[in-house]
Chains A and B, each alone.
Chain A
Amino acid sequence: MDLLRFITAGSVDDGKSTLIGRLLYDSKNILVDQLEALERSTKNKDNGEVDLALLTDGLRAEREQGITIDVAYRYFSTLKRKFIIADAPGHVQYTRNMITGASHAGLIIILIDARQGVVEQTRRHSIIASLLKIPHVVVAVNKMDLVDYCKDVYHKIVEEYKLVAAQLNLDNVAYIPISALKGDNIVEKSAHITWYEGVSLLNYLEEVKIENDINLKDARFQVQMVIRPQTNALHDYRGYAGTVLSGIYRVGDKVTVLPSGAQSTISKIETGGQEAVKVFAPQPAVIHLADNIDISRGDTIALSSSLPAIATEANVLLCWMDEKPLQQGNKYLLQHQSKRVRAVIKQVHFKIDVNTLAQQQVDEAIKLNEVAAASIKTAVPLVYDAYEKLKQNGNAILIDETSNSTVAAVLFR
């Protein structure tokens, strides 16, 4: 059984919480006492129906205002797969939460209200899916019950979205007409949508091929810590512990340690305390090298056959996540996996309108929820890949040293 992480995105009333509630409910992942609590909460409202959206609105502030204000994670499983859902809110001001959820996702469900068609928020969510390179997209055309399950309405929306997908180079897009409220095409195929020949949403989530989504070609491994027990029995033991970000490492492979550039050969590999002949992404590992090289936390061990970029200057996309705006010339800490370095934003080149992808001139500071292209300079060399090519080694965060907040998502270009 494998694991699929996905995110749901939609505008405020597209029925996202209802969809998640429905997936959990119809796949029998909601338990009796949770359902009873739900019924108790619903009784205070006017209509008598159980409100499935209440299953996911976790915090009291949200329950009172009836909105979702932060990313929440939900878990369910079927016989075929375990699923982790990042439930990110649809409000304009919470783009930051969606980017957070999307950074973990292998698939995105974009909800479209059948009565509204493709709207500004649909474009924004699709642009974020494209920027963050989410491998699979499901366009769920929701509220089909409110348009009499009309085939033409659905097809018109599909055609409209195909233009968006083409513009954004989104591959692997699937389309499914659903009603989250009524349960059409969620778990079972709908009896109302006879003209639709595809599978139900859950069926699609269970079957979509995800094993090729990890890059096994370009091997990257960043050292999280050096393990040196320094006991009598393990006197000379020196292993580099970290997670394989991408690719495969085998005993005997020629490697280059970066940024120093020192070369060596893998002499031993351990994972989970056991020796292994190979490790691959995303396994944790302890790697031993044949030569004594000075290696510390944050250094990269790459297979010599395919090396990442090494530079103190880089072009990046910044997704700004803090109330305090970005000021050109400001200094931040840049954290790339486990490596923290000082960085300065040398120049902000342009802003990207997340609704149209248009490049805009920068005439003021970059604010919360805005995306900008910039060049940065770091105090010591960074070892990275372009996000587009290898996202596991192409991402970082910016930290404000005075508040310690995470202020931006960084995508290397």
Chain B
Amino acid sequence: MSNYQLDYLEQLEAESIHIFREVAGQFEKPALLFSGGKDSITLVHLAMKAFAPAQFPFPLVHIDTGHNFPEALNFRDALARKIKATLIVREVEDTIQQRNLTEPKGKFPSRNWLQTYTLLDTIEEFQFDCCIGGARRDEEKARAKERIFSVRDEFGQWDPKLQRPELWNCFNGKIHKGENVRVFPISNWTELDIWNYIRKEKIELPSIYFAHDRDVIANDGQLVAVSHFIKPSASDTVVTKKVRYRTVGDMTCTAAVESNASTLDEVINEIIATRISERGETRIDDRVTEAAMEDRKKNGYF
């Protein structure tokens, strides 16, 4: 490579930083949706680079399902303190009470769907006109068609047929009052790009991404942690296994991967070698129907 060429991670980083600065330039009240997972941690890192040496310019917003891993919550709080960002946490539990919503039933009750209500209420409460999210187009087929600037109507809904064309690196974030834009700065990154970038930039992650001992039950080939939220039934066998998490979602709908990988290098090697996708391996709630993600997005999910 010549002296004037960027490698692929530098090019992806350049694009993401450009997007972050467009958000700062175009919106009045943006927020960064923070989950405590590796993608939103990478977003925070990119934003720090985009606005250095100024303060982190957006609040971090966490829509807490109440089913989160304690390690991820502790990490969230520590990170917000470290970068001196405002942290806004809103609980799905409160929305369920206030709005008298019905909790999903079953052994692995997912509050993913209910998160949408809390998110929309939070957007209204703070009048956010832009929510930055860590979704990637390689995650899932419906996401592959999402724009980087994705306009949502006042019900938070996404219409795949009415998306604005996105040309060159020119982003149109113009909206009417009441609408908002979801912006996805790492749209063009793959899971492996994220991991390689985390290694290159020495970004810290919550401990659950690395191998540790955990009590799990095997459910339909997936390992689910025994926790306050998942109680084993009589027919389950609880075993202690060395596991790590490949994604960090709810304890009720994120499966662990059996692994001995305790360093970034080892984790990356395992991900390169794996023959199963991130969502397929770790998300229990995506298997319901083939169009599950498309339906959730149309209704205002991230």
A residues whose Cβ falls under 8 Å from a Cβ of B: 1-3, 31-34, 37, 41, 56-61, 63, 69-75, 77, 81-82, 84, 96-97, 99-100, 103-104, 211, 214, 216, 224-225, 227-229, 231, 234, 237, 241-243, 248, 270, 272-273, 280, 282-284, 286, 297, 321, 333, 335-338, 392, 395-397, 399, 404-406, 409
Cβ contacts under 8 Å, A57 to chain B: 141
Judge if B91 is at the interface, Cβ distance under 8 Å: no
CA distance A396 to B172 in the complex (A): 11
Cβ contacts under 8 Å, A69 to chain B: 161
Which residues of B from 151 to 183 have beta carbons under 8 Å from A?
A: 151, 160-161, 163-170, 172, 174-176
What 6 pairs between A and B have smallest CB-CB spacing? A33-B280, A273-B52, A58-B141, A224-B21, A3-B8, A284-B17
Query: With A2-B7, A396-B170 known to touch, is A270 a contact of B21 (CB < 8 Å)?
Result: no
In the bound complex, do residue B165 and residue A406 qualify as a contact, i.e. CB atoms below 8 Å apart? yes
CA distance A101 to B176 in the complex (A): 27
CA distance A41 to B291 in the complex (A): 12
Cβ contacts under 8 Å, A397 to chain B: 167, 170, 172
Cβ contacts under 8 Å, A99 to chain B: 165, 167
- How many whole Å from A366's CB to the nearest CB in chain B? 16
Cβ contacts under 8 Å, A297 to chain B: 25
Judge if B51 is at the interface, Cβ distance under 8 Å: yes
Cβ contacts under 8 Å, A60 to chain B: 290-291, 294
- Interface of chain A, main secondary structure: mixed
In the bound complex, do residue A224 and residue B18 qualify as a contact, i.e. CB atoms below 8 Å apart? yes
CA distance A216 to B50 in the complex (A): 23
Cβ contacts under 8 Å, B55 to chain A: 229, 231
Of B14, B22, B280, the contact of A282 (CB 8 Å cutoff): B14
CA distance A356 to B83 in the complex (A): 57
In the bound complex, do residue A75 and residue B1 qualify as a contact, i.e. CB atoms below 8 Å apart? no
Residue of B nearest to A397 (CB): B170
> What is the interface residue range for chain B against chain A?
35 or more
Query: With A237-B53, A284-B21 known to touch, is A33 a contact of B276 (CB < 8 Å)?
Result: yes
- How many whole Å from B192's CB to the nearest CB in chain A? 8
In the bound complex, do residue B145 and residue A33 qualify as a contact, i.e. CB atoms below 8 Å apart? no
Judge if B288 is at the interface, Cβ distance under 8 Å: no
CA distance A395 to B168 in the complex (A): 8
CA distance A61 to B291 in the complex (A): 10
Cβ contacts under 8 Å, B137 to chain A: 73, 75
In the bound complex, do residue A227 and residue B51 qualify as a contact, i.e. CB atoms below 8 Å apart? yes
Cβ contacts under 8 Å, A70 to chain B: 145, 160-161, 163
CA distance A323 to B18 in the complex (A): 30
- How many whole Å from B4's CB to the nearest CB in chain A? 5
- How many whole Å from A18's CB to the nearest CB in chain B? 16
CA distance A310 to B144 in the complex (A): 38
Query: With A32-B276, A224-B25, A272-B52 known to touch, is A404 a contact of B145 (CB < 8 Å)?
Result: no
Judge if B275 is at the interface, Cβ distance under 8 Å: yes
Of A33, A58, A216, A243, the contact of B169 (CB 8 Å cutoff): A243
Cβ contacts under 8 Å, B176 to chain A: 404
Cβ contacts under 8 Å, B275 to chain A: 31-32
Cβ contacts under 8 Å, A231 to chain B: 55
Cβ contacts under 8 Å, A74 to chain B: 138, 144
CA distance A335 to B17 in the complex (A): 19
- Give the interface centre of B50, B161, B176, B294 by most chain A CB atoms within 10 Å: B50
Judge if B5 is at the interface, Cβ distance under 8 Å: yes
CA distance A73 to B12 in the complex (A): 15
Cβ contacts under 8 Å, A216 to chain B: 4
Residue of B nearest to A216 (CB): B4
- Give the interface centre of A34, A216, A224, A229 by most chain B CB atoms within 10 Å: A224
Judge if B49 is at the interface, Cβ distance under 8 Å: yes
In the bound complex, do residue B14 and residue A3 qualify as a contact, i.e. CB atoms below 8 Å apart? no
In the bound complex, do residue A211 and residue B1 qualify as a contact, i.e. CB atoms below 8 Å apart? yes
Residue of B nearest to A394 (CB): B168
CA distance A103 to B170 in the complex (A): 10
Of B5, B151, B166, B188, the contact of A100 (CB 8 Å cutoff): B166
New A-B pairs, 10, CB < 8 Å, besides A33-B281, A59-B145, A82-B8: A58-B142, A75-B188, A75-B190, A224-B18, A229-B54, A282-B14, A337-B169, A397-B172, A406-B167, A409-B167
Interface string of B17-29 (1 = CB under 8 A from A): 1100110110000
CA distance A122 to B138 in the complex (A): 29
Cβ contacts under 8 Å, A270 to chain B: 52
Query: With A272-B13, A396-B170, A399-B172 known to touch, is A229 a contact of B53 (CB < 8 Å)?
Result: yes
CA distance A37 to B275 in the complex (A): 14
Subset of 15 A-B contacts with CB under 8 Å: A2-B6, A31-B275, A70-B145, A74-B144, A99-B167, A100-B165, A104-B168, A224-B25, A229-B53, A243-B17, A248-B4, A282-B14, A284-B21, A333-B174, A406-B172
Cβ contacts under 8 Å, B277 to chain A: 31, 33-34
CA distance A23 to B114 in the complex (A): 38
- Give the interface centre of B165, B170, B274, B280 by most chain A CB atoms within 10 Å: B165
Cβ contacts under 8 Å, A284 to chain B: 13-14, 17-18, 21, 49-50
CA distance A41 to B289 in the complex (A): 12
In the bound complex, do residue A243 and residue B14 qualify as a contact, i.e. CB atoms below 8 Å apart? yes
In the bound complex, do residue B144 and residue A97 qualify as a contact, i.e. CB atoms below 8 Å apart? no
Residue of B nearest to A69 (CB): B161
CA distance A283 to B53 in the complex (A): 17
Cβ contacts under 8 Å, A72 to chain B: 141, 144-145
- Give the interface centre of A31, A61, A99, A336 by most chain B CB atoms within 10 Å: A31
In the bound complex, do residue A31 and residue B14 qualify as a contact, i.e. CB atoms below 8 Å apart? no
In the bound complex, do residue B6 and residue A283 qualify as a contact, i.e. CB atoms below 8 Å apart? yes
CA distance A100 to B48 in the complex (A): 30
Cβ contacts under 8 Å, B7 to chain A: 1-3
Of A392, A396, A406, the contact of B164 (CB 8 Å cutoff): A406
Judge if B102 is at the interface, Cβ distance under 8 Å: no
